[in-house]
Amino acid sequence: MSARIDAFLQLGREQGCSDLHLAVGYPPMLRMMGDINPIHYRALTADELRGLVYEILSESQRAAFETERDLDFCYSPTETERYRFNVFRKRGEVAAAIRIVPSKIPALADLGLPPIVSRLAQSPNGLLLVTGPTGSGKTTTLAAIVNMLNETKALNIIAIEDPVEFVHKSKASLVVQREVGTSVPSFAAGLRSALREDPDVILAGELRDADTITTAITAAETGHLVLGTLHTMSAVKTIDRIIDLLPEDAKRQGAMLLAQHLRGVVSQTLLVRPNRQARRAIAEVLVMTPAIANLVLTGKTIQIPALMMTGRDQGMCLMDQMLLDAVQAKEVDPDAAYQHAQDKKLLQRFVTDPKLLPQVSLVGR
């Protein structure tokens, strides 16, 4: 018999939504094309919502949630469906944010990312980072990279994830997926373990602390390709965040290792297309060159965007330039692109909603 929550999950999948949100006092909410809207259903009571969630939890998951008051896990009601749950407490009551994982891993070429991303992903060693805010498609991009390598190269790929979202079947490569909390206690511990398992590629789902970052850089230094994510909005902020997270006495060494072993940073966001029927990934890409490495070493990361602006022949691109290119090609909604731009003057002439533009005050004229 199906769990009661399955009906809401299937509705979200059928309508092409990315997320489902459940909170006491509100009907279930679906996120579609970036916007959240309620479905036609009554407001959920505390007992009803608790029942929907607890019905699909194992005894150990219930115990963990009662203790930690927060739980991440994946749920698969059928072989073709997979959902990532974050269950938490909101004003003392159970609530849930649920990501609807696509049933098929997309091809890297179909994501609309610059071709340099594929080339960076085929580096024999080093550190490649995919960054962006929550919901920007980082996990999907990493899954597409792993899938590309799995289909085209004979490698040992070890993925450490929290939780496992996309499930990879070994093809040309051997793909081993380990989940934080069930297979390994932490990302850092999983990385250290992976180094003893003869890897070619290691995917570290999230570099969230100094220990994980240090271990990831060590893995890259010892000849492996390491893939990871951070919740940073740009390439420069990514480098700054990594160095900031390191202990004071390790910052200089960390900058030196980044300059040597960082292959690139892909900072992405998802924007709705003009027809509002789909979204497209827009990405800023940094490629580590000797000139950029020197700026990292000397602490002059603020100068990196200038080099990225002139490095298009090396595959580099800034977010604002990619937004402009996408708007001119009519691939994204211009109003959404304007809202995401740093230098809004670049996109001001394309805006269709006057409310988004800065208002000129006539007082005193």
CATH of the domain at 142: 3.40.50.300
pLDDT averaged over the chain?
Answer: 94
330 assigned to some structural domain:
no
Closest CA to 49 of 82, 97, 1, 13: 97
pLDDT digits 0-9 by tens, 168-205: 999 999 999 999 988 999 999 999 999 999 999 999 98
145 assigned to some structural domain:
yes
- 168 and 258 together in one domain: yes
Which of 71, 101, 131 marks a domain boundary?
A: 101
- 114 and 38 together in one domain: no
Give residue 365's pLDDT: 47
322 assigned to some structural domain:
no
pLDDT digits 0-9 by tens, 285-316: 999 999 999 999 999 999 999 999 999 999 99
357 assigned to some structural domain:
no
- The residue segments making up the domain with residue 60 are 6-101
- 206 and 152 together in one domain: yes
- 310 and 194 together in one domain: yes
264 assigned to some structural domain:
yes
Pairing of β 156-161 and β 225-230: unpaired
What is the mean pLDDT of the segment spanning 156-171? Answer: 96
- 244 and 270 together in one domain: yes
pLDDT digits 0-9 by tens, 86-128: 999 988 899 999 999 999 999 999 998 999 999 999 999 999 9
- 164 and 273 together in one domain: yes
- 89 and 156 together in one domain: no
- 189 and 211 together in one domain: yes
Give residue 205's pLDDT: 87
- 128 and 199 together in one domain: yes
Residue pointed to by tokens 């498609």:
137
- 211 and 231 together in one domain: yes
CA distance linking residue 153 with residue 299, whole number of Å: 37
Which of 298, 317, 336 marks a domain boundary?
A: 317
CATH for 43: 3.30.450.90
pLDDT at 364 over 60: no
91 assigned to some structural domain:
yes
- 171 and 38 together in one domain: no
Which of 76, 101, 126 marks a domain boundary?
A: 101
161 assigned to some structural domain:
yes
- 97 and 117 together in one domain: no
55 assigned to some structural domain:
yes
What is the mean pLDDT of the segment spanning 220-233? Answer: 96
Q: Which contacts qualify for 187-191: CB closer than 8 Å, 24 or more apart?
A: 187/160, 187/162, 187/212, 188/212, 188/215, 190/160, 191/160, 191/215, 191/216, 191/219
pLDDT digits 0-9 by tens, 50-65: 999 999 999 999 999 9
The count of domains in the chain is: 2
